[in-house]
């Protein structure tokens, strides 16, 4: 796990390009405090900041080259199946210099070219230079656990693990992209390929970029097909297959030459990971973050401690502090975007504490999206079925019913007229437009319609060959709508303090297995969310008591209420940074809408607070220390 940066240019002098890449890499020291490395070829420079996890010796350092130095690699990530890949490659005559997991990528490329990504199990964002073909290949893992950003300027083509590094590259336009505001009407994090900056693009998940004399081209190399993977499982066979698949995934994430810990909320997902990690003999500590007050205990603290005791883990409960609002500028700077997700704040504090004990942490991220665990997914399936029935009503009759019905009935019937894969995007776009009309200036509200931020949902919904509306929702949640929680927060909160967070549920083999299941093994009861994620809970019930397995789902940090904080100890922060914030000078918002959010819609108010602080940092170019001081003054 590391930070990477690089440049390809026919315009820049070699010395200038090396200096540019070094300056970019210097912004990534937090991702790789254990060392740095650079490699230069004809018109290309690769830079690397090292966080030593596997093969701690100098042979694990990067950039790496193959036997004849015709290929050079920098990688941010971990390859969980590297032992099996290495054994096969050695049988085919490949010679390895060390024992790093990343080194297999070079030899896989020799065998398969750009299709080498198809053979990798893990999380990664890497750059590989092929000097024979004068070809740069960038690749990102299937779910997007590891980030990778690019910028094309008159000076050349640049890439890096974080946007802040690219802002150091020559000629990159760091002005705010107006589409950021449209995206914030739907998403907590900007969906790839968009970013908050006009001059920077994000490589989408499951994509590779090939750059040669013809210019850059982006290709998708993986997606889910629910119809193609569907299988008529018997329950006992499916349960056994889940246990084996999950066990293999956790075993891969336990590959490490440094200590490992578990981020444990006591819920089904993190408990499943803890059970399998303990079964594999890993010596682990566990950590839970929450908020307790006199007379108001945090149930996650008790639950997590109990699971840890059963699994034989050394457990730590971490109390969240309300005054941590002054940490917001540093948290937002670590993301380089206005991430409108409250858990990002306490995830940063949790990561700092875990880093004191471990370099690698296992988490349960992605399980709800993959296996249908969220409360509301049971209603999603039912509503989708009703809309599907409505889609078979003849058009004229459907139009007449829409005229007679209320607003919701009319919208549902209008949605029913659309193809299955287009329905969620249409509903989310409508919600974005309604919010924009209330919150934004007339011009910005029109931009929401023109930009159509929901198109990102449409693209993924179309590619997954859904069987029903639940398939559309879970897959688009995984790949777009919940990317902030499944991939962005784990990556950035961890790497900000040189901590690697691994998510076994995001192993693509686990995801493909889940896509093969019938609904009775994921979301079996349309009116009872207790049994959502059915197969995961049945498997966990073999190891833990039912009162833990079937307890009410809370989510990490359940007892921490940002509504109470915004209306209580942070109220002066709201006044100064939202109601009077300089972000209003951008002209995208109207004052009445801002006041409505502050008084009536805490999630939107939180988004505005985060955007306000992001603008202080990236539009008005305040330092994090200065903004933190102003925040602290409002809660002091």
Active site residues: 2
Nearest-5° angle of CA 618, CA 490, CA 201?
A: 45
Q: Which of 532, 251, 231 is nearest to 367 (CA)?
A: 532
549-583 as b/e: b if 16+ CB within 10 A: beeebbebbbbbebeebbeeebeebbeebbbebeb
**E strand spans, 29-92:** 35-41, 44-50, 64-65, 71-79
Instruction: Specify the residue for token string 């994921």.
Output: 522
**How far separated are the first and last CA of the chain, in Å rounded?**
38
The CA-atom distances, in angstroms, between 229 and each of 238, 422, 438, 512 are 14, 21, 42, 7
- Reading the block at residue 267, the tokens are 């819920």
Let me know how long the chain is: 636
Q: Which of 376, 289, 615, 340 is nearest to 482 (CA)?
A: 340
Give dist(CA 309, CA 543) in Å, integer: 12
Give dist(CA 593, CA 439) in Å, integer: 4
Helix (H/G/I), strand (E/B), else coil: 3: strand
Helix (H/G/I), strand (E/B), else coil: 209: strand
Helix (H/G/I), strand (E/B), else coil: 501: strand
Q: Which sign does the torsion angle of CA 553, 557, 562, 568 carry?
A: positive
What one-character-per-residue DSSP string does 331-357 give? HHHHHTS----THHHHHHHHHHHHHTT
Helix (H/G/I), strand (E/B), else coil: 562: helix
**From its phi and psi, is residue 319 left (phi > 0), alpha (psi between -120 and 50) or beta?**
beta
CB atoms within 10 A of CB 333: 17
Give dist(CA 487, CA 473) in Å, integer: 17
DSSP conformation class of 46:
E
DSSP conformation class of 480:
I
Q: Residue 93 pairs with which residues in a beta bridge?
A: none
167, 314 Cβ separation under 8 angstroms:
no
Give dist(CA 520, CA 517) in Å, integer: 8
- Reading the block at residue 530, the tokens are 């207790």
Give dist(CA 154, CA 313) in Å, integer: 54
Between the CA atoms of 618, 620, 625 and 626, what dihedral angle is there, to the nearest 10 degrees? -160
Q: Which of 594, 586, 511, 26 is nearest to 225 (CA)?
A: 511
Neighbouring C-alpha atoms within 13 Å toward the C-beta of 415: 25
């Amino acid at each position: 796990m590391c930070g990477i940066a690089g440049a390809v240019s026919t315009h820049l002098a070699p010395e200038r390009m090396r200096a540019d890449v070094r300056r970019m890499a210097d912004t990534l020291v937090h991702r790789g405090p254990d060392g740095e490395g650079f490699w230069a070829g004809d018109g290309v420079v690769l830079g690397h900041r090292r966080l030593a996890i596997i093969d701690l010796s100098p042979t694990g350092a990067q950039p790496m080259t193959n036997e004849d130095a015709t290929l050079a690699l920098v990688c941010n990530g971990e390859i969980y199946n590297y032992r099996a890949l290495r054994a096969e490659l050695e049988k085919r005559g490949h010679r390895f210099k060390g024992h790093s997991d990343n080194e297999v990528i070079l030899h896989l490329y020799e065998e398969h070219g750009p299709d080498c990504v198809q053979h990798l199990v893990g999380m990664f964002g890497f750059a590989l230079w092929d000097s024979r073909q004068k070809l740069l290949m960038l690749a990102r893992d299937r779910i997007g656990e590891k980030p990778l950003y690019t910028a094309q300027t008159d000076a050349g083509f640049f890439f890096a693990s974080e946007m802040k590094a690219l802002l150091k590259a020559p000629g990159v336009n760091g002005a705010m992209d107006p589409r950021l505001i449209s995206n914030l009407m739907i998403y907590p994090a900007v969906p790839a390929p968009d970013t908050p900056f006009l001059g920077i693009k994000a490589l989408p998940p499951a994509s590779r970029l090939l750059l040669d004399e013809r210019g850059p081209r982006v290709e998708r190399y993986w997606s889910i097909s629910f119809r193609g993977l569907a299988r008529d499982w018997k329950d006992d066979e499916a349960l056994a297959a889940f246990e084996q698949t999950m066990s293999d995934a956790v075993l891969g994430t336990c590959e490490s030459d440094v200590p490992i810990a578990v981020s444990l909320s006591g819920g089904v997902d993190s408990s499943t990971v803890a059970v399998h990690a303990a079964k594999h003999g890993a010596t682990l500590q566990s950590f839970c973050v929450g908020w307790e007050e006199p007379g108001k205990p945090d149930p996650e603290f008790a639950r997590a401690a109990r699971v840890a005791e059963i699994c034989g883990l050394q457990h730590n409960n971490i109390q969240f502090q309300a005054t941590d609002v002054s940490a917001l500028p540093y948290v937002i700077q670590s993301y380089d975007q206005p991430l409108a997700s409250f858990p990002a704040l306490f995830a940063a504090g949790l990561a700092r504490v875990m880093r004191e004990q471990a370099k690698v942490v296992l988490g349960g991220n992605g399980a709800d999206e993959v296996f249908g665990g969220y409360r509301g997914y049971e209603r999603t399936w039912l509503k989708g079925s009703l809309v599907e029935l409505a889609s078979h009503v003849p058009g004229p009759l459907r139009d007449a019913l829409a005229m007679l019905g209320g607003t919701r009935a009319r919208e549902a019937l209008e949605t029913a007229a659309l193809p299955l894969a287009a329905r969620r995007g249409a509903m989310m776009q409508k919600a974005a437009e309604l919010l924009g009309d209330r919150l934004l200036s007339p011009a910005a509200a029109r931009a929401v319609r023109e930009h159509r931020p929901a198109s990102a949902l449409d693209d993924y919904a179309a590619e997954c060959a859904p069987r029903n509306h639940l398939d559309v929702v879970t897959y688009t949640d995984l790949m777009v709508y919940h990317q902030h929680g499944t991939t962005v927060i784990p990556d950035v909160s961890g790497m900000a303090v040189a901590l690697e967070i691994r998510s076994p549920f995001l192993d693509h083999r686990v995801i493909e297995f889940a896509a093969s299941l019938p609904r009775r093994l994921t979301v079996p009861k349309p009116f009872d969310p207790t049994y959502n994620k059915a197969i995961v809970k049945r498997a966990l019930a073999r190891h833990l008591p039912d009162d833990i397995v079937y307890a009410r789902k809370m989510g990490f940090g359940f007892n921490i209420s940002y509504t109470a904080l915004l209306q209580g100890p942070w109220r002066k922060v709201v006044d100064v940074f939202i109601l009077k914030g300089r972000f209003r000078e951008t002209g995208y918002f109207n004052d009445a809408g801002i006041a409505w959010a502050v008084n009536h819609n805490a999630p939107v108010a939180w988004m505005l607070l985060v955007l306000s602080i992001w603008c202080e940092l990236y539009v008005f170019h305040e330092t994090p220390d200065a903004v933190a001081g102003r925040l602290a003054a409002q809660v002091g």
